[in-house]
Amino acid sequence: MQLQKEFSFEAGGADDGYAQWVVVRQMAAEEAARRLNLPVGRGVEVWLRGGIRLRGKLRLLDDLLFVEESKVRNLGLTVEGVPFIYAEIESCVTMD
β-partners of residue 83 are 78
pLDDT (tens, 9 = 90+) of the chain, 96 residues, equals 556 656 555 555 556 788 887 787 777 767 777 777 889 889 999 999 999 999 999 998 876 555 566 666 778 899 999 999 989 999 999 998
Which domains are seen in the chain, by residue range? Answer: 14-94 (2.30.30.100)
3-state secondary structure the chain: CCCCCCCCCCCCCHHHHHHHHHHHHHHHHHHHHHHCCCCCCCEEEEEECCCEEEEEEEEECCCCCCCCHHHHHHCEEEECCEEEEHHHEEEEEECC
pLDDT at residue 76, as a whole number: 86
pLDDT at residue 25, as a whole number: 73
